[in-house]
A and B are shown apart, each in its own frame.
Chain A
Amino acid sequence: AQKVTQAQTEISVVEKEDVTLDCVYETRDTTYYLFWYKQPPSGELVFLIRRNSFDEQNEISGRYSWNFQKSTSSFNFTITASQVVDSAVYFCALSEIENYGQNFVFGPGTRLSVLP
């Protein structure tokens, strides 16, 4: 069965610190997709990144970077030089390749607070 674990329930950092949000997943499929979403206080979940299971290249987008390691079933998210605007709940999610895409499993989320 699929499962996504985000062991960190809440993290607090001071502005400009680097922070890594952990995501560990379980799946029996060899083809799957991993996602990160950000939910700011306004409530809407915002898509950040999608990674397929065949692409283990790390990705960097500005201050954000993602480390995908199939060997440890992890897809960790690092924010460099954090800012107050990064304060949000971050969700990791897993999707297996099904006809209708309903096998989309979210982790429980990590609440990040960036203090000024």
Chain B
Amino acid sequence: DVKVTQSSRYLVKRTGEKVFLECVQDMDHENMFWYRQDPGLGLRLIYFSYDVKMKEKGDIPEGYSVSREKKERFSLILESASTNQTSMYLCASSLKGGAYGYTFGSGTRLTVV
């Protein structure tokens, strides 16, 4: 069964900590995405990558960075976590091109205290 796996389901971090959210896919997809989901705001794109070592800013990149050293892995980094980054984070992947839907991971619920 093809999968997008996010390393943690729940995470609690302190303000100011550096936080790594990991995402791995086993479908050989070119594209990978990080979204955050907040009540009333829907899904907002943070960063995406369409190739190894490539990254593009989404709608809300401030306070985040990403790393894609291998095709199957896309990491989201919170350089200095803040309470307003408490959210559900969803990773997704897809084949190249707009014709293909996304496959999502099960999400990481991050709480910054």
A residues bordering B, Cβ < 8 Å?
A: 32-33, 35, 37, 42-47, 50, 52, 91, 93, 95-104, 106-109
Contact = CB atoms under 8 A, between A and B. Distances in A.
Interface stretch (B16-24, B60-68, B69-77, B96-104): B96-104
Contacts, number: 72
A28 to B, nearest CB: 14
B97 A102 contact: no
B105 A44 contact: yes
Interface in B3-53: 30-31, 33, 42-43, 45, 48, 50
B90 interface: yes
A106 B43 contact: yes
Q: Which of A33, A43, A97, A103 has the most CB of B within 10 A?
A: A43
Interface of B: 30-31, 33, 42-43, 45, 48, 50, 56, 88, 90, 92, 94-107, 109
Contacts of A101: 31, 50, 94-100
A103 B103 CA distance: 15
B1 to A, nearest CB: 13
Nearest to B43: A106
A72 to B, nearest CB: 22
Nearest to A95: B98
B97 A43 contact: no
